[in-house]
Amino acid sequence: MSTLARPGRHYDYVDDGPAIYVESFATIRREASFAGLPADAEKVAVRMVHGSGQVDLVRDLVVHPGLVGAARTALMMGAPILTDARMVAMGITASRLPAGNEVRCFLTDERVPGLAAAWSTTRTAAAVSLWEPYLDGAVVVIGNAPTALFHLMEMLIEGAPRPAAVIGCPVGFIGAAESKEALVALADDHGIDVPYVTVRGRRGGSAMASSALNALAQEQE
């Protein structure tokens, strides 16, 4: 078996893991403004910027004033985490979860293809219907499909149990911006006041959504 050796240094870069971590968060705080966000949501915003590499993300964030308290309490009480995609689930840091919370994604459930075909919708949206038995008091993390967020809101309008909090950050060019605007307007339009965090526009994604959950899971940065 050959002995591995580090290649020679040809570039000047920081390679100390903890130092990279600390300086990354320091850089974000130097370059971003968190004015206008709830005071307790700064760490959530910082992690979402870290997960996206985009300091200007903060100006598009919309954070419900009750988000941090509701999500953190639910997680401490053992609430399940429901995700729209495996990429979101894989981005959640298990060691940060305060109660060994179960992370569930139903996208590969055998019932999903049939439901999607019968309803003429995406498989991601169909999988959301399988959340219903776990939805009451859960923390929802949507970082992929706008159809999943629309489907969730339609379920809530029809009387489905309400989650404790929604991280609604689907990404894309078709429906992403619209689904997130609908989430922001859900309380005014339908009287359903569920704490949420979202980012206006087309931006979003699994890394951004899971970063928000990781921040909510633990106060320590």
Contact 209, 149 (CB under 8 A): no
Tell me the C-alpha distance between 102 and 110, whole Å.
Answer: 20
The two tokens of residue 145 are: 């499909």
pLDDT per residue over 115-152, tens digit each?
999 999 999 999 999 999 999 999 999 999 999 999 99
163: CB partners within 8 A, 6+ apart: 82, 135, 136, 137, 138, 139, 140, 194
Q: How far is CA 83 from the centre of its chain?
A: 8
pLDDT over 70 for what percent of the chain?
A: 99
> Which contacts (CB < 8 Å, 24+ apart) does range 115-123 have?
121/147, 121/151, 122/147, 122/148
Report pLDDT for 1: 55
| Rounded Cα gap, residues 121 and 130, in angstroms | 14
Above 80 in pLDDT, residue 61? yes
- The token duo for 176 is 């992403």
Exposed e or buried b for every residue in 73-84, given b needs 16+ CB within 10 A?
A: ebbeeebbbbbb
Stretch 34-49: mean pLDDT: 94
Give residue 108's pLDDT. 96
pTM for this structure? 0.94
In this structure, which amino acid lies at residue 102? E
What pLDDT score does 146 carry?
A: 98
Q: Choose the catalytic residue: 10, 50, 151, 190.
A: 50
Domain boundaries, the chain: 40-217
pLDDT at site 220: 81
CATH number among 1.10.10.10, 1.10.287.10, 3.40.50.620, 3.40.50.10230, domain 40-217 = 3.40.50.10230
Mean pLDDT for the stretch of residues 85-104: 97
Q: What pLDDT does residue 62 have?
A: 98
Mean pLDDT of the 57-72 span: 97
**H/E element holding 42?**
helix 42-52
Does the annotation mark 50 as catalytic? yes
The predicted model gives 111-115 an average pLDDT of 98
**174-219 tens-digit pLDDT:** 999 999 999 999 999 999 999 999 999 999 999 999 999 999 999 8
Please give the helix or strand (H or E) that residue 196 lies within, else none: strand 196-199
Instruction: Report the chain's mean pLDDT, rounded to a whole number.
Output: 96
Q: What is the mean pLDDT of residues 64-89?
A: 98
% of the chain surpassing 90 pLDDT: 95
Closest to 168 measured CA to CA, from 136, 192, 195: 195
Structure tokens at 143: 């970082």
